[in-house]
Amino acid sequence: MKTTHSINTLFLALLCLTASTLFMSNNVQAAKWDASMTPAEVEATLDKKFAEGKYSPKGADSCLMCHKKSEKVMDLFKGVHGAIDSLKSPMAGLQCEACHGPLGSHNRGGKEPMITFGPTSTLAADKQNSVCMSCHLDDKRVAWDSSHHANADVACASCHSVHAEHDPVLSKQTEVEVCTTCHTRQKADMNKRTSHPMKWNQMTCSDCHNPHGSLSDSDLVQPTVNETCYSCHAEKRGPKLWEHAPVTENCVNCHNPHGSVNDAMLKTRAPQLCQQCHAGENHTSNAYLGNTDMGSTVNGNAFTGGRSCLNCHSQVHGSNHPSGKLLQR
């Protein structure tokens, strides 16, 4: 009994020590002013500081007196935002305060708020982004305010890493990994049997989408879905002598661009895919649901075996043959 009591006492002591350690680590990660100020008070204080404009005459030197021990802070000088030899870098102007706001009395105890970025920031995403957009508002980001990311209150710092030598989202080797931390459904699709080669980094999300917004559906880089697809699949572009209406209308009528379990990224395998439109005419008057000829022979029916409808209608994207009205040649 004594042994059991001793073990329980030791376990409780370790549990308390672990909880205390976690609490202390969380306090270290959180900003000091978060414990005494609400998000609204932080925002109001920052607005007042900007109105007063009390910037440090020593710039980054004032900040580094306290923050130089942080590896994450010092990594800034490995990247473009910390480049001391570039006129486009914040280091050429207000330095750290160009992004984090006027120092004011922050260095007197560290409890006066500064602008912080990322998931731990109490500042609203639009406020964080306004800092970034003060420099990065150009023709590639002109539609940011109406973009999907802006409407979802996604902060720039949720995707971009400023305090780094190389921003992962700007590299073709790591861009897809960053995007799929949120877009998990697309991540699942791109690992299906047929997909664009995104998991091998031969394509990236930004090849088709503008993450900062565009005037097209789904923030596409081209005006329409088809124009985006034709930038690579030029052989499918018309005009054709005999056109297939769903193809000219929208490629995603038949294809899932992020991946599918069916051949050619089709949403549904033929003949079911074709019968969604072609029902009640000629030999499609009866639905063909199986892959056999009444169960007697495997692939014994031209309507269901092999490529199904495409066994005959092989030019499904359109035909230029004078006798290609039925897209057979």
Q: What is the pLDDT of residues 38-57, one digit of tens each?
A: 989 999 999 999 999 999 99
pLDDT for the residue numbered 231: 94
Say which DSSP state 294 is in: T
Q: Between residues 271 and 259, which one has the greater pLDDT? A: 259
pLDDT for the residue numbered 18: 39
pLDDT band of residue 24 (cuts 50, 70, 90) is very low
CB count, 10 Å around CB of 284?
16
Answer whether residue 70 shows pLDDT above 70: yes
pTM of the model: 0.80
Distance CA 176, CA 198 (A): 7
CB count, 10 Å around CB of 204?
19
- Give me the amino acid identity at 248: T
12-16, 135-139, 187-191, 202-206: which range is least confident on average?
12-16
Peptide bond into 246 cis (omega under 30): no
Indicate left, alpha or beta for 326 from its phi (over 0: left) and psi (-120 to 50: alpha): alpha
Name the residue with tokens 């006027």: 102
Distance CA 111, CA 105 (A): 9
Distance CA 148, CA 180 (A): 15
Are the C-beta atoms of 184 and 144 separated by less than 8 Å?
A: no
Say which DSSP state 209 is in: B
Distance CA 82, CA 60 (A): 10
pLDDT band of residue 36 (cuts 50, 70, 90) is confident
Are the C-beta atoms of 251 and 244 separated by less than 8 Å?
A: no
Region 109-131: what's the mean pLDDT? 89
Inter-CA distances, 277 with 246, 253, 268, 280, 307, Å: 9, 11, 13, 9, 18
List residues bridging with 255 in a β-sheet: 266
Region 27-31: what's the mean pLDDT? 54
pLDDT band of residue 30 (cuts 50, 70, 90) is low
pLDDT for the residue numbered 311: 87
pLDDT 10s digits, 263-305:
999 999 888 898 888 876 666 556 665 554 544 455 556 677 7
pLDDT for the residue numbered 31: 77
- Give me the amino acid identity at 148: H
pLDDT for the residue numbered 163: 94
Enter the tokens of residue 298.
């495997």
Peptide bond into 39 cis (omega under 30): no
